[in-house]
Structure 1
Amino acid sequence: MCGRYYIEIEDAELRSIIAEVERKTTVKTGEVYPTNLAPVLSPNGTMTAMRWGFPRFDGKGEVINARSETAAEKNMFRRPMSEGRCLIPASWYFEWEKRGSQKIKYALSTPDNRPVWMAGISRTDLQTGESLFVILTRPAWSGISFIHDRMPVILPEKIHDQWLYGHDPIETMSRGMKEVRYKAVSETRK
């Protein structure tokens, strides 16, 4: 679920975000992959660069998503859920529908085509000092469940402050966007 997303720098709002973050460091634009350095609205409300993914406990790979329903209970996510809530801006995110031997790639965006703000949680890697984030997911809206059974928690701008600073993140997530627009962008064979 949500293993890639896209930042279109032609969008004025996203271009402004990139410019702000890139005063300090370069971040990935275009198609963003796990472990890329990307712009994130940090828990203190400032735009910064963070790397996508928490290292797995066994050191083999990255955890890039957390289930919103259980994140507050899991050891890896409990503290970031209470202290490290963040928002990840994007133009859209990608999912793949499997049809037999074909995989169809879809771009999913907000109904009004404004930037997608995905709820995330963040922490600092104690070994490297690097800021890290994961994206929170929820069950997919029924209109896209044929593509994938999960989707990011997408928060409208009016509740961003509640997400970052509020005391009830579960309730805030429940008010996230349910519907998204989608379009097929490519087809591949396995």
Structure 2
Amino acid sequence: MCGRYHLEDELMEYFRQRADRIEEEVKNESYDRDIYPSNDAPILYKEDKEIVLGLKSWGYPGFKGKGLLINARSETVTKKKTFINGIFNKRIIIPASSYYEWNAVKEKVAFYRKDNMPIYMAGFYDNFEGEDKFVILTTNANTSVDNIHDRMPLILESEQMEDWLDDEKWVKYLSLIPTDLRHTQTMEQQNMLF
């Protein structure tokens, strides 16, 4: 699962240089912060053969309007009616510097690539009542993550990003085993509701 991630300005500058076109609301915005469900967040998508850096809201509306769907399982995403249009027609890449999970005692754990490169999370979006909303794909956790959580984002390598956005080549990445990650514990604890 992925319920929060971090984005740094240096990574945003890299994506600004990589995009063929940048939507106005992302051009000069600072993004050195954590991204939470329901936040607007920068994403890369393909439109008219151009790679576009844009802004979309994280989370599909939940069943009967309750909560948000923030993740989709890569193993079943092509069979879920809610996700069909997005996965087949509107795939995206969500840039992150790190993402977070909480361990068994509710301590926040930050995951990074071992090579310190950006994390390119696979996802997709769709339009709901005039607003574009996205979800992050997850897969079974690899051995570098499974002692903390049984799921992790579907993480692409830099050279796989264009294929993920391509209408013909994306399917093979649904079974991708992501690269090993490193992690550090932070001092923040997850809030408990009683």
Q: Do Structure 1 and Structure 2 share a fold, with TM-score over 0.5? A: yes
Letter in structure 1 aligned against 2:127: T
1:147 is aligned to 2:145? no
CA distance in 2, matches of 1:38, 1:27: 11
Alignment check: 8 A CA contact 1:106 1:182 kept: yes
Over the aligned positions, Cα root-mean-square deviation in angstroms equals: 2.1
Letter in structure 2 aligned against 1:42: Y
1:163: which partner in 2? 164
Letter in structure 1 aligned against 2:55: A
Matches within 5 A, 1:74-113: 74-98=80-104, 102-113=105-116
- Aligned sequence identity (%): 37
Q: Structure 1 residues 162, 17: CA separation in 2 closer, same or farther (over 3 Å shift)?
A: closer
CA distance in 2, matches of 1:2, 1:82: 21
Choose from 61, 65, 70 the match for 1:59: 65
Q: CA deviation at 1:168?
A: 4.2
Q: TM-score, normalised by structure 1?
A: 0.87
Q: CA deviation at 1:86?
A: 0.4
CA distance in 1, matches of 2:184, 2:156: 21
Q: Secondary structure at the match of 2:78?
A: coil
Cα deviation digits, residues 13-44 of structure 1 (max 9, x gap): 32354798573255754010000000000232
1:33 is aligned to 2:39? no
Q: Structure 1 residues 176, 140: CA separation in 2 closer, same or farther (over 3 Å shift)?
A: closer
Cα deviation digits, residues 47-78 of structure 1 (max 9, x gap): 00000000013111110000000000000011
Choose from 102, 114, 119 the match for 1:116: 119
Letter in structure 1 aligned against 2:145: I
1:5: which partner in 2? 5
CA distance in 1, matches of 2:5, 2:106: 17
CA distance in 1, matches of 2:189, 2:42: 29
Cα deviation digits, residues 144-177 of structure 1 (max 9, x gap): 2110000000001101111001424331233452
2:139: which partner in 1? 138
Q: CA deviation at 1:187?
A: 5.2
CA distance in 2, matches of 1:184, 1:74: 34
Structure 2 gap ranges (5+): none
Structure 1 gap ranges (5+): none
Cα deviation digits, residues 110-139 of structure 1 (max 9, x gap): 1211111100011111x2x11110000000
Alignment check: 8 A CA contact 1:42 1:87 kept: yes
Choose from 13, 16, 26 the match for 1:15: 13
1:48 is aligned to 2:54? yes
Residue range with higher mean Cα deviation, 159-168 or 180-189: 180-189
CA distance in 1, matches of 2:183, 2:83: 30
Q: TM-score, normalised by structure 2?
A: 0.85
CA distance in 2, matches of 1:92, 1:169: 23
